[in-house]
Structure 1
Amino acid sequence: MTDTTPDSGAGPRPINATTDAVRKSLSRRNRKQLILQGLGIAAISFAMLMLVILIGSLVSTGYQAFTQTHVELEVYVDPDEISEENLPRGGFRDVLSDSMGQYFPDVDMSDRVAAREVSSILSNGAQFTLRDRIVADPSLIGETITLNVPVSDPYDQLAKGLVKRDTPEANRRLDDAAIERFDRLDELGMVSKPLNTRLITNADSRFPELAGLKGALVGSFWALLTCFLISFPLGIGAAIYLEEFAPKNRVSDFIEVNINNLAAVPSVVFGLLALAVFINWFGLPRSAPFVGGLTLALMTLPTIIIATRAALKAVPPSIREAALGVGASKHQVVFQHVLPLAMPGILTGTIIGLAQALGETAPLLLIGMNAFITSAPTSPFDSATALPTQIFIWADSPERGFVSRTSAAILVLLTFLIFMNAIAIYLRNKFERKW
């Protein structure tokens, strides 16, 4: 038995030398594999770190918006200022000013400047809260009622610690006298910070303490509904034709390449197209969720077509062959056998496409869905904003109170996106068939 192995053209090679070469090669490969794994772990760790920083930043800034500072005060509904004959008009602001004066006996409420400073503790919407309550029950005129109303934004920031008391008075939004007045109300037990339901139930406002997302939520709903009703049937129909019925020639190849290219086109291009076609050519109303839905449908169609074609391709050919073998027509094969099996993948792709459309801002800005709208739309043709454009509006506002509301709105948007992606994952896992 020899201690060498044949090596063509080089004569016998010692086994030990071959073993050492293999061992060195394995060592190099293992080292490269460890480096590759390390780079992968580092990339994932960096991505997770950025995600944690993003979410942490949003939560640390936005959680303040989910509570709102309120003041509970006793209000005498003076019949000299408010009467049944002049409802809903009346001196609601003066009534609130007089009611606030009773808590500050050292302030001369006949002085307009002093009265204005005391009344500035309350939000501008307090008078409308009082008006709505009196209009709903006129028998309250002449009575003393308890009213719980939000404070104005500077005092809300003070209660949440965002206005620092140790900051020099010249650099604060509130002077020492204003802080003392608010502290007096707090000592009397009149100040509270309940859950800010107005963030969801109110539409937009120029006053941060009154601003909410209702108009944007309803606008996004109408836009997504329009987008779904248009892009879902058209996308599935186009994908079925291209995948199952269209002849494989240069025309179909050209269409397929352009659909793939459209999926990568920047969303702002679709906004320019919608502005030129839907608004300038067809004369549809600006800022309408219906136009926004049409724009988002154009953007979502390529995604749905590509996802549907991939789901149809994933169905094994044996399903088609078996159906054709028992006498089914091509139409029956596609719609009674192939399409039901591909539907989980189609639904997953559709939901992901709609989730992407929900977060789009640029095309909606170009069609005017960033207007200042103080009421929620009642139809897809009313002027409205959407969640991403509402975030854009608040982020551009100089008011300090909109900073936390911007982060809170982003958290609401992310919640909807996570929810929609969770539905897509659930549908895929529940209905997916494996062969």
Structure 2
Amino acid sequence: MNKSTQIVEAGLKKRYAREKRFRMFGLISILISLAFLVVLLTDIISKGYPAFQQTYIKVDVTIDSKTLGLTADSTEDELYTASYSRIIRDSLRAKFPEVTDRKQRRALTNLVSKSAAYDIRDKVIANPSILDTTASYWFLAKDDVDVFMKGNIDRDLPEDDRRVKDYQLGWIDQLVAENRLEKRFNTVLFTEADSREPEQAGIRGALMGSLFTMLITMFLAVPIGVASATYLEEFAPQNNKWVDMIEININNLAAVPSIVFGLLGLAVYINFFGVPRSTPLIGGLVLALMTLPTIIIASRAAIKAVPPSMREAALGLGASKVQTVFQHVLPTAMPGILTGTIIGMAQALGETAPLLMIGMIAFVSDVPQGILDPSTVMPVQIYLWSDSPERAFTERTSAAIMVLLAFLITMNLIAIMLRKRFEQRW
């Protein structure tokens, strides 16, 4: 074997060794990424799945008309304003007559949520004939009771180190023994808006706010983005300094931090045009600005991928430039445009920073009914709950993250399915 052959073989061995190391490093990187993803998802799911259950307490309630100051002829306003919390308090004290200490009596009342009084009020308004009757009703348990029943408070800890005291443990044990405590699917999480009380807090308000915001974003960003991409790719003059400047600015906007768009919305839409703060309208306007570069870039790439032969064939058969673009080029590029649009919308759905600048961080306890009603969105709701000190908000934060991730994964799966379904290879 001559020297040249030896040099070549030695070089091949080194090259193969480098390629093997490169593949190994790539595989290790993927495994590390997957490990971090598994740890993250495991942590979120383990903390969030208990939020899909809620503890309820059965209480024998005597709806005493004298205590409420009501009669059979009371008006609806009088029924609405009566002090129903008093009969809840009296019913709990009747259940545990041995409790005489003032502090313990206050803790006894806090076994059930404050929503119990509203539940009784609604039942009386719906059927006033239940006045002066006694019946068993299921009420939401207070957040500390709920957290304890889910095993997140260790009863073996010293009393000073846990929120549920020994006398409260005795009441809970008695209620469990009498089958007056049970866990049910947490419908409140999906039917109610935000609340200061963890057991009453839900994501419906944030979901509706996200829906209205995404609708505004879609109706503004998609037509403008696709029209801009079509003009720049098909009709704009080539080698024109103004067109070149627009293209550079679009690419630069795609890399601008999202909070800058929030500052722009605050300065232009709110301060200059007077658009109401903390509404889906202003949120959609800001997110539309942020999403436009993504849609334009993706749409231009899809339009550019259409082979020139299709344009030439249409023009050769007598079609005008506009007919060629709208009847042949855009329909062919539509799968790529839809994919880019869905990815851009998914990015907007998960944004928080720009919405903080326009006031959508406000506490909103009502479900928005339109684009001008105050509201928040899912990412901001998660941010608000994560900053709350109550233990029960921790599981609700993780549950809200799970719901948001489910929406994001669904949107990305739809984008992949559309691309696979309509993709054409040239």
Q: Which residue of 2 aligns with 1:429?
A: 420
Which amino acid in structure 2 is aligned with residue 373 of structure 1? V
User: 303, 309, 323: which one pairs with 2:314?
Assistant: 323
CA offsets, 1:28-72, max 9 Å, x none?
A: 111111100011001111111111111011011111211111112
Give the SS at the match of 1:206.
Answer: coil
How do 1:29-428 residues align onto structure 2 when only pairs under 5 Å count?
29-82=15-68, 83=70, 84=72, 85=74, 86-108=78-100, 112-248=102-238, 249-428=240-419
Counterpart-to-counterpart distance in 1, 2:248 and 2:67: 72
**For each residue in 1:351-379, what CA deviation from the matched residue of structure 2 results, as whole angstroms up to 9, or x when unmatched?**
10000000100100000001111011111
Percent identical residues = 51
For 1:20 and 1:103, the matched residues in 2 are separated by: 94
What is the rounded CA distance, in whole Å, between the counterparts of 1:60 and 1:151 in structure 2?
Answer: 22
**What is the count of residue pairs matched by the alignment?**
419
Q: Is the 8 A contact 1:81 1:90 kept in 2?
A: no
Maintained 8 Å contact 1:71/1:191: yes
* Structure 2 stretches lacking a partner, 5+ long: none
**Aligned equivalents of 2:45, 2:27: Cα separation in 1:** 26
Range with greater deviation from structure 2 (331-340 or 127-136): 127-136
Query: Counterpart of 2:82 in 1: which secondary structure?
Result: coil
The one-letter code matched in structure 1 to 2:51 is A
CA offset at residue 78 of structure 1?
1.3
Aligned residue for 1:88, secondary structure, equals helix
Q: How big is the shift at 1:200?
A: 1.1
Could you tell me how far 1:114 is from its partner in structure 2? Answer: 4.0
Shift of 1:169: 0.9
Post-superposition Cα deviations, 1:221-254, rounded to whole Å, max 9, x if no partner, equal 1110000000000001100000000001121111
User: Could you tell me which amino acid in structure 2 is paired with residue 165 of structure 1?
Assistant: R
Q: Which moved more, 1:39-48 or 1:132-141?
A: 132-141
- Please, what TM-score do these two structures have when normalized by structure 2? 0.96
- SS where residue 192 of structure 1 aligns? strand
For residues 342 and 252 of structure 1, what CA distance do their matches in structure 2 show?
A: 22
Long gaps (5+) in structure 1: 1-14
Q: Tell me the SS of whatever aligns to 2:138.
A: strand
- The TM-score, its normalising length taken from structure 1, stands at 0.94
Instruction: Specify the code of the residue in structure 2 equivalent to 1:397.
Output: S
In structure 2, the partner of 1:27 is: 13
CA shift, 1:81, in A, is 2.5
User: Partners of 1:190 and 1:271 in 2: how far apart?
Assistant: 50
Task: Return the letter of the residue paired with 1:35.
Answer: R
Could you tell me which residue of structure 2 aligns to residue 4 of structure 1? none
RMSD of Structure 2 on Structure 1 (CA): 1.3
